[in-house]
Amino acid sequence: MSHLRGRSVLSLEDFTQGEILELLKLGAELKAAKRGGYEVQRLKGKTIALIFEKDSTRTRSGFEVAAYDQGAHVTYMGPGGSHIGHKESVKDTARVLGRMYDAIEFRGFAQTDVEALAQYSGVPVYNGLTDEAHPTQVFADFMTMPEFCSKNLKDIKFAFLGEGRDNMTLSLAMGAAKLGMHMNIGSPESLWPDPDYMARLHRIAAQTGAQINLEADPKKAVAGADFLYTDVWLSMGEAESLWADRIKLLLPYQVNAELMAATGNPAVKFMHCLPAFHNTETSVGKDIEKRYGISAMEVTDEVFESEASIIFDQAENRMHSIKALLVATLA
């Protein structure tokens, strides 16, 4: 995969269908090698800077373990752990880190920041999440789907329920468009993606045969789906004052047993990028129950803990798919 060496991973829009499929295949091979005990380290001597403006569990763990398994070293820079954006511009930080590290991961707010790191550092840069895109998560998701469905990716139909314009929805839709998949976005019209973004998706879909549809009726959105996917109703960085309106608006799109049954598919699986508000075992969950009288938000605990839930397989695959990106672009 030498043609991917030196490439940054900023958005799935930057990759061809063939390249995405190659990376997914590599992820599956690396997963098998790790489990089988025959993994070969291809990144010995490499160093990777991990910049986190937003806290993380899966992205940080995924990058650190993937790098360790492959013999690379990482430096973690958490919120407040560097001068980036505060005392030093992203452009200047990029030119410093690019002279010390072989690659940079960035998890933060602005897509323009991760793009600037890639432009000025001279090394591969990986988008660990921005307000606009979460490509490393989608690689893991599309690696997970074939593990639980006998269909080829292009024949899979899935639905996203919730906010139609958040970074996960947009990234999943871009990936689905690239791979020729059928995706329904079940969301209130007021939270549908920007029309210009939908136009970009449809231009890609016209070439791949994908179907990307918007649907305000949650039961129509999930009909015939192989997978139901959801995310938190309020993204990191959004004001908590929005909770009341967002809960009222999105409660009909909560993934529960009734909505799972509405797919008409007894083999339907549930997916979530995590963390999820499915019970009151967290401080946020307790606060939401106290203030709004609900014990779960985007997904009920019944579905979250059911046999249909493959969320922890997704979480594990974050590490395997990230490893594939590192190996393909650095080895």
In the annotation, is 196 catalytic?
Answer: no
How far apart (Å, rounded) are the C-alpha atoms in residues 154 and 208?
9
Instruction: Mark the ranges of the chain whose per-residue pLDDT is less than 70.
Output: 236-237
Could you tell me the fold of the domain covering 149-309? Answer: Rossmann fold (3.40.50)
Q: State the pairing for strand pair 103-107/157-161.
A: unpaired
pLDDT value at residue 169: 98
pLDDT value at residue 177: 98
Q: Please answer whether residues 253 and 260 qualify as being in contact, where contact means their C-beta atoms are separated by less than 8 angstroms.
A: no
Which of the following is catalytic: 137, 166, 226, 278? 137
Give φ, ψ of 71 to 5 degrees: 90, 10
pTM of the model: 0.96
Q: Please answer whether residues 8 and 133 qualify as being in contact, where contact means their C-beta atoms are separated by less than 8 angstroms.
A: no
pLDDT value at residue 108: 96
Tell me the pLDDT tens digit for each residue of 249-280.
999 999 999 999 999 999 999 999 999 999 99
How far apart (Å, rounded) are the C-alpha atoms in residues 181 and 154?
5
Which of the following is catalytic: 7, 102, 149, 273? 273
How far apart (Å, rounded) are the C-alpha atoms in residues 185 and 231?
12
Q: Is the peptide bond before 275 cis (omega within 30 degrees of 0)?
A: yes
Nearest-CA neighbor of 42 among 30, 60, 50? 30
In the annotation, is 318 catalytic?
Answer: yes
In the annotation, is 134 catalytic?
Answer: yes
pLDDT value at residue 237: 65
In the annotation, is 287 catalytic?
Answer: no
**Domain 2-134+317-330 indexed as CATH 3.40.190.10:** no
Domain boundaries, the chain: 2-134+317-330, 149-309
Whether 2-134+317-330 and 149-309 share one fold: the answer is yes
In the annotation, is 320 catalytic?
Answer: no
Average pLDDT, the chain: 96
